[in-house]
A and B are shown apart, each in its own frame.
Chain A
Amino acid sequence: MKKYSVFAIAREAMRGHKGWEEQWSSPEPKKEYDVIIVGAGGHGLATAYYLASVHGITNVAVLEKGWLGGGNTGRNTTIIRSNYLYDESAGIYDHALKLWDGLSQELNYNVMYSARGVMMLAHNVHDIQVLKRHVHANRLNGIDNEWLTPEQAKEFCPPLNISKQARYPVVGAALQRRGGTARHDAVAWGYARGASARGVHIIQNCEVTGVKRAANGAVTGVETTRGFIGAKKVGVVAAGHSSVIMNMAGVRMPLESYPLQALVSEPVKPVVPCVVMSNTVHAYISQSDKGELVIGAGTDQYVSYSQTGGLHILQHTLDAICEMFPIFTRMKMLRSWGGIVDVTPDRSPILAKTPVPGLYVNCGWGTGGFKATPGSGHVFAHTIARDDPHPINAPFTIERFRTGRLIDEAAAAAVAH
């Protein structure tokens, strides 16, 4: 792997940019690998990267039915934060946040992590109580989060409407300054490049159609559209399709898949300096470096794999955005799209060993997996390499739905998650 640097840019500028190499190779699949990762999104590629870089396991294939990063990695609203209520969640999301800081240097790839601050708005007494509870819980866990008055919120984000005449007036806000955004595609590409350089095979357009198990139940490999590929360890990181893959191995999951939509506006000059979220009116917004307003909507109410969603969901979100930012009422929306998110009953992910020996699963990130990408890959690689979970992901088992030891962020984080 040739290192990217200012000298490399200068060198290539001198010779017409003919010397850039492919960022990752596209080899033919081998008959067998030590580890197969199903799904080349951010989480899967990060897992492969840390398997190689931390654990020295390089005989790894990442299988992707479509193209790399073409699922939820390329469809999310790129928000990064770790202000979750429960200790277990704080542990895993802040582990990720610490890895975001420095990720560009580690990968030698600019993932454009920007700690511009995530501000969550309160509109009523209940919001104040919930958000202040988060602020205090976060501080006890060593996570920065602070309470702002409406005036301080407006100072931090000038276009915000804090008029008392608003339908849902802003009565306060919780601000995590270390939160922010990153460039979602670059995260997938950076991890892919780093993994490929260490020998990991990234195989696109290769859909897994079956999971093979030996007589003793252990995994022996996967059937794919490009033939059988053997492996004693298989990690399923398939987002909305995780339960489909797990069903192939005979494991039924506590998951349901829903369409989640997002949209972007026409590009404008810098106007929103941070991320603003409101759980109550349900809208979140930030501005990309291209200048587009990036707006996240809610999920549809029914199970679907259609990667689209109802128009009324977008309208509801835009109503809320215009309420919070009257300045945007005449903005034009350029594009909208949907992704399929896999949601657990307690809205916390599952990163765990499964009842099937050699089969591991990293799923259930629901509507908010992007922020966790580095931490998720890091601890999931540990889980696969050691056949034992990292202390950080040890609570995120499948069995918690039998034992009742839930990590109930469903109630704690409301909708935007």
Chain B
Amino acid sequence: MLLIRCPYCEEERPELEFRNAGEAHIARSADIAGESDDDFEKFFFIRSNPKGIIYERWRHMHGCARFFNAVRDTVSDKFLMTYKAGEPKPAKLPGASK
């Protein structure tokens, strides 16, 4: 089980309190009906699925119930950092090998 730091509660809590909410920083088009099939596919179905650093959303379901973002290594499952929803993708990662 993962230990996840909620950036709102500012606490590390067990994974059972959280729901993973998929890849982060995928913006929904403001004009979804006007999206081409190609762009809709990229938005809706295509995922980066990286072996390494992933940017993902979590929701602290059984805590503050808020969404936030996390950076995690999908090989070691180790979290590098978490940050609040709406904050930009971090340019520098603490302790990242690359």
Contacts and interface: CB of A to CB of B under 8 A. Distances in A.
A16 to B, nearest CB: 46
Contact of A257 (B2, B49, B77): B49
Interface in B7-22: 15-16, 19-20
Interface in A395-411: 401-404
A75 interface: no
A252 interface: yes
A416 B37 CA distance: 31
* A interface, over-half SS: loop
Interface in B27-69: 37-38, 40-42, 44-51, 54, 56
Contacts of B77: 302, 304, 306, 308
Interface string A378-417: 0000000000000000000000011110000000000000
B19 A253 contact: no
Contacts of A254: 41, 45-47
Q: How large is the interface on A (under 10, 10 to 19, 20 to 34, 35 or more residues)?
A: 20 to 34
Contact of B1 (A255, A303, A311): A311
B1 A301 contact: no
B46 A301 contact: no
B51 A241 contact: yes
A402 B38 contact: yes
A303 B46 contact: no
Given A306-B76, A310-B15, A402-B41, A255 B20 contact: no
A244 B16 contact: no
Contacts of A305: 51, 74-75
Contacts of B56: 302-303
A256 interface: yes
Interface of B: 1-2, 15-16, 19-20, 23, 37-38, 40-42, 44-51, 54, 56, 72, 74-77
